[in-house]
Structure 1
Amino acid sequence: MLQPCKALKTSIGNPPNLGWTDPNPCKWEHVDCSDNRVTKIQIGSQSLKGTLPPDLRNLTSLTVLEVMKNELSGPIPSLAGLSSLQEVLFNDNNFTYFPPDFFSGLTSLQTISLDYNSFEVWEIPVSLTNATTLQKFSANGANVTGTVPGFLGGDVFPGLKSLNLAMNNLHGQLPESFAGSAIETLWLNGQNSDTKLNGSVSLLQNMTSLTQVWLHMNQFTGPLPDLSGLTGLKDFSLRDNQLTGIVPSSLVNLPGLSTVNLTNNLLQGPTPKFDTSKIRVDMRTGSNSFCLDDPGFPCASQIWKGISCDSGGSITVVNFQNLGLTGTISSNFSQLTSLRHLLLSGNSLTGTIPNELTTLSKLEKLDVSNNHIFGKVPKFRQNVIVNIHGNPDIGKDNSSFTPGTPPGGSSGTPGTHSGETSSSGSGSKNTGKIVGSVIGAVCGAFIVGLGVCLYTRKRKRSSRVQSPNTVVIHPQNAGDGNGVKITVTNSSVNGGGSDSHSLTSSGPSDIHVVEAGNMVISIQVLRNCTDDLAVTGRVTTKVDVFSFGVILMELISGRKALDETQPEDSVHLVTWFRRMHINKDTFRKAIDQTIELGEETLASVSTVAELAGHCCAREPYQRPDMGHVVNVISSLAELWKPAEPDSDDIYGIDLDMTLPQALKKWQAYEGSGNMDDSSSSFLASADNTQTSIPTRPSGFAESFTSADGR
């Protein structure tokens, strides 16, 4: 007992704050003993450095080992054989290695936390199966790679309640063994690998114990399953995936639901009507294509132009003929298991016919005629009619297509085939998308958008809106304010010119008129569209925190908050910054190139970047108070204050000078000894007010909260 404790004391540098001076470890602070044997070591959050000794595995009566939130480094020692060990907390340190035999013999282990360390790449070891009493396994941001092990969801861990593996390098699909598991909290969000976690989320419907599901920022596909059995579900986040189909009513009607985030998917259908007085809902941005903005309002039939469904709501026909589509045929069509007719003729599609389409058991007709398809035709079932007419390069390994060439081929191009006459070649495993009008290839976002336009015209009076170049507000002589009109000039409507017209209309003005390429919109239309001009809302201190986070991102990256010269997925700084900050390599590339990055500089920039990310959290309650922001930044202020003036600075300006003194010295070097009246007045004012700013009272940062700001 004595030797392992002495080894621990030495390896962490015998820090004086622990007070480990007595020769008997059982009398040390943060150490508990029973029968003169060490049972607990709880030294978390003690600013400790150094390493953990391998001798710890000799503490055979140890039940709790807590060393979290320190600066410990080096390898984690194997604790194999400590059959009494129940809780181990290694999180928030700088450990670099995790031994694969760590869990061997840990038959009483209930909780282990490995979050946020600097591990070398590692996989969850099979030795974990020894810990059959495990209730919580947490390794967020721990550089875990590979697939999610199937044994985590099987009968091996009947008591596993919490599985947290967010922000790692996992890939592959959710293991089928998860179905029926007792897991309540599932965090698998934000994987850094190229392929991320993918596949279907259908097995969630059988994980009936779930209360919190975080699968966002992955590549999950397919529809959301029936979730009516998840009666205890409170937090459901699957944003930033590639989910398709409609939002099931079973999710909308869950009794205890408090948070739903489905932003940035490929969802369609009616906008679900959640009870927003009880549930925080975010599903507005990205490529979701809900047919209407009115939650709960059913889609009209014309919304689904080109899409036909059976009585159960399953898609049976996709008719995207002659729409001018470009890109390739997506293999994601294979997920429409009830599909009978896939009609894509008369477009400008390239690439090959995906082999995955042969798995559609109900497919009767595939029409890709008059495109630019090449390659061998996959072998479909005998009763499937495959029309490949008008594709000059069908059967060839490469395409001779030149952009701009109209669809259609020579008279010698093969025509209609059935499955029995198709070649049995392997084809190309093309996983691309039909781009342009169709996103994700499932249900056709372009068609949905067109349907919205048609349906809106039926619900409201006719209107046409184009992107304006100039907006001019014209107040009119009308007592009720309805005479105010907005003229939109230089818009590309009907190919018109750039002349501006302020048009009037007889009677109540509730429409806008398009004429000669311009629009005049009555204020009444705006009132109708904006509910009488009503306004990750209210202006609160949390909004200010978000804005400050954006400023920090601008300083780090050297980019503007909104830069339309960037590619489409990088226009918005916050979205781009979040994506770049996930990975160390991409984050380094995101830093302004004018910043000279040494180890110390990079560490400081990383600290500020992490703070910026917290400030720009999607939900206001996740953002810190400004007091916390001040504390973080103030800790860096002394580090970044120059110790000596730069000898190469020709101006020789002392940073401790007042503003007027610095400006006078600068003007002297520039040869302009005199200041004009405005400069003198400004500097005099600045000099007089410099010392009028009171110093921050003691404890200011610690006491400042958002409530004070309000």
Structure 2
Amino acid sequence: MNKPSLGFSFSSFSLFLLSLFSLTSSVYSQSSPDAAAMQALKTSIGNPPNLGWTDPNPCKWEHVACSDNRVTKIQIGSQSLKGTLPPDLRNLTSLTVLEVMKNELSGPIPSLAGLSSLQEVLFNDNNFTYFPPDFFSGLTSLQTISLDYNSFEVWEIPVSLTNATTLQKFSANGANVTGTIPGFLGGDVFPGLKSLNLAMNNLHGQLPESFAGSAIETLWLNGQNSDTKLNGSVSLLQNMTSLTQVWLHMNQFTGPLPDLSGLTGLKDFSLRDNQLTGIVPSSLVNLPGLSTVNLTNNLLQGPTPKFDTSKIRVDMRTGSNSFCLDDPGFPCASQVNILLSIAESVGYPVVFAQSWKGNNPCDASQIWKGISCDSGGSITVVNFQNLGLTGTISSNFSQLTSLRHLLLSGNSLTGTIPTELTTLSKLEKLDVSNNHIFGKVPKFRQNVIVNIHGNPDIGKDNSSFTPGTPPGGSSGTPGTHSGETSSSGSGSKNTGKIVGSVIGAVCGAFIVGLGVCLYTRKRKRSSRVQSPNTVVIHPQNAGDGNGVKITVTNSSVNGGGSDSHSLTSSGPSDIHVVEAGNMVISIQVLRNCTYHLAVTGRVTTKVDVFSFGVILMELISGRKALDETQPEDSVHLVTWFRRMHINKDTFRKAIDQTIELGEETLASVSTVAELAGHCCAREPYQRPDMGHVVNVISSLAELWKPAEPDSDDIYGIDLDMTLPQALKKWQAYEGSGNMDDSSSSFLASADNTQTSIPTRPSGFAESFTSADGR
């Protein structure tokens, strides 16, 4: 008897079960969170055919890895992808690796907050425009993130990064990061951080103290584009003993290199294009594993270090620092070594390193800031007044045995007066007023003038000085013997500020008046104003701080006496008097005319240096200082000029097209451009003084001075003429003899002296030279 047929064979049944299983798997995969997120990713990047993402199950896609049907890796870098990344990626809770680098993806980076399994994220080399501040929240397993070279809007490193405590590499080169480097990057938050790459951004400020003792091996902070760049000291590098590669070049770091003997694994060390000063430590020269070192374009001092060039590739071009000699390994002269030891006690300030060049501080062809010498080549005067110095007074001043005047007033020096200074047998004057000196005053010879005023803690065992406090306590009359002190009323502080500002205002007014006199020579005036020979400023005892009179005296006035008239602002009258060649001006008038003395309280000589730097930039570029017709990032000349000056190609584009650029011309223009950049430094103490500016430009002026007079010059003015002579000749060719009285008087006076600098007034020491004036 035949059994009834079931209608299908066993093999057909197996095929049915397989199809049912496949259908069930497909339905499951399509309904899972990962499938939806992956479909959103495929759509947002335009379903590129080269990926072959056609299967409904994303775990079968190329460049995608799964575990237990959950997506764990997406590795689609270098696939020529376009489009954006969807926010749905946040739903891939098992994701450990996300690689989308080297594509053309754009738009915002989605927040991946909460993906606690994520370990590696590579977003670099795309066109992403936004980075969310909460991106790192909950990323407790993250080890590597790369954000290099994207088109981000300006952003700061978010606090949410502190969630990623397992981080080993943070890289955001060229990613438009701004602000300061957060202190948490080098602290205990990231004990395993090995690589920190933040080059070519807009960071500013100093290296965080938390870097000291960190485990960082690779540190890239070079090429910041902000106005101030990264700055301050690099001393904490000595405590980053795990470092193997340090790139800090093209910033504004200052001060000396620290002892690097603890960095035994250091191989690559680049700090070129900064403002580092001081002596290169032998610990760097002797590091066993060092293979590359670049210190070009700094202000390093002392002997040129001698590296083992058979093992180390060295870039330290001749003349690109302030070494005493160009030959590596040769020692400096004794006076140079003494001055460098003195500079060490105040942190090797930039103001010294910019002018202390060569191996002879008494060489007449090279002016050393604050140093004057006698005819025998011995240092007789050290004038470090009002240079913003911090640190202590070096006992090594005592080694300058010919020293007569030691002037250190108006700084922020602390510590005590070294007793070694009493051994200076030729010392005549010591001025340490308006600092933060404490302790007892050593006993000097009776004929030594010692000025200690303005040091509130003098005579005390310790200092109450807090960094950031302005130097000095009160003004007073210089002491005539050691230990003399005095006090003054509360108004003296205000008076000192006003007097300093008034001096600048008077000098500025005189210059402006001179310009007006030259341009209005045909215009007669009803009164005669003489070119002043003497400016006397008399502080009064007015309690309101306005008790100052200014007497401008000219002893050469015909028939005039030498009387001076006193006028203070304590009365109701705000008039000025011009009588018998003397001018007395109310302080209130000056305050009104100078907008309350700018609102020789931020009046400083370095303001004029900044302005001169802007003028140099205008001459080079042919652009105005402020040009609102330019794009937003190019409106301000100084900011734009610095950005263009970064490399040779962009700099050539910034030069006025009317200038015919040969190699020699470009070299001179580059020198002036570099000078302009220093003049326009953000902080006044970072700018050179005008003496240095003159030294740089005078050499170029001599280079480009015409070999013979231009025959086409209708005025026939000799370039070697004094200004008054040239003006007279110009007026003669103009056919005008109608100089106004003030111009004639000025020219007569200037013609007699042949210079705008008056002769030495009576009472000045014979040792006073032009260098003291500078």
TM-score normalised over the length of structure 1: 0.50
Report the Cα distance in structure 1 between the residues aligned to 2:619 and 2:491, rounded to whole angstroms.
Answer: 49
Deviations along 1:204-242, whole A, 9 cap, x unmatched? 111000000111111111111100000000111111111
Q: Distance in 2 between matches of 1:535 and 1:34?
A: 69
**1:274/1:690 Cα in 2 relative to 1: closer, same or farther (>3 Å)?**
same
Q: Check whether the contact 2:495–2:545 (CA below 8 A) recurs between aligned residues.
A: no
Are 1:247 and 2:311 counterparts? no
2:476–2:486: 8 Å Cα contact kept in structure 1? no
Secondary structure (helix, strand or coil) at the match of 2:596 reads: coil
Kindly state the Cα deviation for residue 32 of structure 1 after the two structures are TM-superposed: 1.1
My pick for the range that moved more, 563-572 or 493-502, is 493-502
Which residue of structure 1 aligns with residue 292 of structure 2? 259
Report which stretch shifted further, 168-177 or 357-366.
357-366
Give the secondary structure class of the aligned counterpart of 1:478.
coil
Query: Offset of 1:479 from its aligned partner?
Result: 87
Q: Aligned equivalents of 2:561 and 2:256: distance in 1? A: 46
**Partner SS, residue 552 of structure 2:** strand
Q: Deviations over 1:475-525 (max 9, x none)?
A: 999999999999999999999999999999999999999999999999999
Distance 1:363 1:577, change over 3 A: farther
User: Gaps (5+ residues) in structure 1?
Assistant: 1-5
Which shifted more, 342-351 or 663-672?
663-672
> 1:32/1:303 Cα in 2 relative to 1: closer, same or farther (>3 Å)?
same
Q: Secondary structure at the match of 1:653?
A: coil
Deviation at 1:58, TM superposition (A): 0.4
Aligned residues of 1:104 and 1:128 also touching (Cα < 8 A)? yes
Q: Is the 8 A contact 1:328 1:433 kept in 2?
A: no
Q: 1:129 to 1:464 in 2, by over 3 A?
A: farther
Q: Per the alignment, do residues 671 and 351 of structure 1 end up closer, same or farther by CA in structure 2, a change over 3 Å counting?
A: same
Deviation at 1:116, TM superposition (A): 1.1
| Change in CA separation of 1:136 and 1:359 when aligned onto 2, cut-off 3 Å | farther
The alignment status of 1:486 with 2:519, answered yes or no, reads no
Mapped partners of 2:757, 2:376: distance in 1: 70
Closer/same/farther in 2, CA of residues 630 and 530 from structure 1, 3 Å limit: closer
Q: 1:274 to 1:109 in 2, by over 3 A?
A: same
**1:398 aligns to 2:462 (yes or no):** yes
Paired with 1:415 and 1:667, the residues of 2 have a C-alpha distance of 53
Alpha-carbon distance change, 41 to 348 in structure 1, aligned in 2, over 3 angstroms: closer
Which residue, 26, 33, 36 being the options, matches 2:69?
36
State the Cα RMSD in Å. Answer: 23.7
CA 1:93 to 1:205, structure 2 compared with 1: closer, same or farther past 3 Å? Answer: same
Compute the displacement of 1:171 (Å). 1.4
**Change in CA separation of 1:38 and 1:533 when aligned onto 2, cut-off 3 Å:** same
SS of the residue 1:96 aligns to? strand
Q: Which residue of 1 aligns with 2:139?
A: 106
How many angstroms apart in 2 are the aligned matches of 1:571 and 1:52?
Answer: 35
Q: Matched residues in 1 for 2:728 and 2:518: separation?
A: 67
Deviation at 1:258, TM superposition (A): 0.9
Q: Which string of whole-angstrom CA distances, capped at 9 and with x for unpartnered residues, describes residues 318-360 of structure 1? A: 6679999999999999999999996479999999999999999
Check 1:48–1:448 CA distance in 2 against 1; reply closer, same or farther (3 A cut): farther
Change (3 A) 1:289 1:99: same
Question: Which protein shows a greater Rg?
Answer: 2
Q: Cα offset for 1:284?
A: 2.3
Q: Go from structure 1 to structure 2 and tell me whether the alpha carbon gap of 1:597 and 1:78 turns closer, same or farther (over 3 Å shift).
A: farther
Q: Note if contact 2:434-2:475 (Cα within 8 Å) is conserved in structure 1.
A: no
Return the offset for 1:395.
24
Contact 1:346/1:369 (8 A) holds in 2: yes
Which residue among 653, 666, 673 is the counterpart of 1:589?
653
- Equivalent residues of 2:530, 2:745 under 8 A apart: no
CA change 1:694–1:492 in 2 (3 A) is closer
Asked if the contact 1:512/1:522 (under 8 Å) is kept, the reply is: yes
Please say which of residues 113-122 and 386-395 is displaced more in the overlay. Answer: 386-395
**CA distance 1:260–1:321, change in 2 (3 Å):** same
Percent identity (aligned):
99
- When residues 315 and 481 of structure 1 are mapped into structure 2, their CA distance, relative to the original with a 3 A threshold, is closer
- Residue 504 of structure 2 aligns to a residue in which SS? coil
Q: SS at 2:731's partner residue?
A: helix
* Residues 253 and 583 of structure 1, relative CA distance in 2, 3 Å threshold: closer
Q: Is the 8 A contact 1:242 1:440 kept in 2?
A: no
- Tell me the alpha carbon deviations over residues 357-390 of structure 1, each in whole angstroms, 9 at most, x when there is no partner: 9999999996499999999999999999875999
Task: State the shift of 1:676 in Å.
Answer: 64
Kept in 1, the 8 Å contact 2:504–2:603? The answer is no
Q: Is the 8 A contact 1:467 1:492 kept in 2?
A: no
The offset of 1:50, in angstroms, is: 1.2
Question: Does the 8 A contact of 2:215 with 2:242 survive in 1?
Answer: yes
- Range 698-707 or range 236-245, more displaced: 698-707
Deviation at 1:84, TM superposition (A): 0.7
Give per-residue Cα distances to partners, 1:416-470, cap 9 Å, x unaligned. Answer: 7999968899999999999999999999999999999999999999999999999
TM-fit CA distance, 1:54? 0.5
- Is 1:117 the counterpart of 2:181? The answer is no
Contact 1:166/1:191 (8 A) holds in 2: yes
Which is worse superposed, 543-552 or 448-457? 448-457
Cα separation, partners in 2 of 1:587 and 1:683, compared to 1, 3 Å: same
CA distance in 1, matches of 2:527, 2:308: 31
Q: How many residues are matched?
A: 705
CA distance in 2, matches of 1:463, 1:694: 24
- Contact 1:365/1:384 (<8 A) preserved: yes
Q: Are 2:228 and 1:192 aligned?
A: no
Provide closer, same or farther for how the CA distance between residues 703 and 434 of structure 1 changes in structure 2, counting only shifts above 3 A.
closer
Per mean C-alpha deviation after superposition, the further-off stretch among 656-665 and 78-87 is 656-665
- Superposition deviation, residue 202 in structure 1: 0.9
Deviates more, 1:538-547 or 1:63-72: 538-547
**SS across alignment from 1:286:** coil
Contact 1:30–1:41 (Cα < 8 Å) also in 2: yes
Alignment partners' CA distance in 2, 1:701 and 1:539: 28
Q: Determine if the alignment matches structure 1 residue 91 to structure 2 residue 124.
A: yes
Q: Secondary structure at the match of 2:643?
A: helix
Task: Choose 515-524 or 213-222, whichever is displaced more.
Answer: 515-524
The worse-fitting range, judged by mean Cα deviation, of 125-134 and 481-490 is: 481-490
Taking structure 1 as reference, are residues 457 and 92 closer, same or farther at Cα in structure 2, changes over 3 Å only? farther
Residue by residue over 1:655-682, the C-alpha shift from the partner in whole angstroms, topping out at 9 and shown as x without a partner, is 9999999999999999999999999999
228, 236, 245: which one aligns with 2:269: 236
Q: Answer with 304-313 or 675-684: which moved more.
A: 675-684
CA contact (8 A) 1:352 1:427 kept: no
Q: 1:236-279: per-residue Cα shift (whole Å, max 9, x none)?
A: 11111111110000000001101111112111111111001111
- Look up the SS of the partner of 2:670 in the other structure: helix
Aligned residues of 2:135 and 2:160 also touching (Cα < 8 A): yes
CA distances 1:545-601 after superposition (whole Å, capped 9, x unpaired): 999999999999999999999999999999999952769999898388799999999
In 2: Cα distance, 1:683 partner to 1:362 partner = 43
Q: How big is the shift at 1:83? A: 0.7
User: CA separation in 2, counterparts of 1:105 and 1:244?
Assistant: 44
- Tell whether the 8 Å contact from 1:376 to 1:423 is kept in structure 2 after alignment: no
Return closer, same or farther for 1:646/1:145 CA change in 2, 3 Å cut-off: farther
* Residues in 2 aligned to 1:407 and 1:691: alpha-carbon distance in whole angstroms: 36
The alpha-carbon distance between structure 1 residues 328 and 253, as it changes in their structure 2 partners (threshold 3 A), is: closer
Compute the displacement of 1:112 (Å). 0.3
Quick one: structure 1 residues 637 and 565, their matched pair in 2 at CA, closer, same or farther if it must change by over 3 Å? same
1:207-606 counterparts in 2 under 5 A? 207-284=240-317, 288-299=321-332, 343=407, 367=431, 579-580=643-644, 590=654
Provide closer, same or farther for how the CA distance between residues 430 and 96 of structure 1 changes in structure 2, counting only shifts above 3 A.
farther
Cα deviation, residue 293, structure 1:
2.0
Could you tell me whether the CA contact under 8 Å between 2:441 and 2:482 is conserved in 1? Answer: no
* CA spacing shift, 1:551–1:156, aligned 2, 3 Å: same
Change (3 A) 1:84 1:225: same
Structure 2 CA distance for partners of 1:613 and 1:472, relative to 1, 3 Å: same
CA contact (8 A) 1:270 1:291 kept: yes
TM-score by length of 2: 0.46
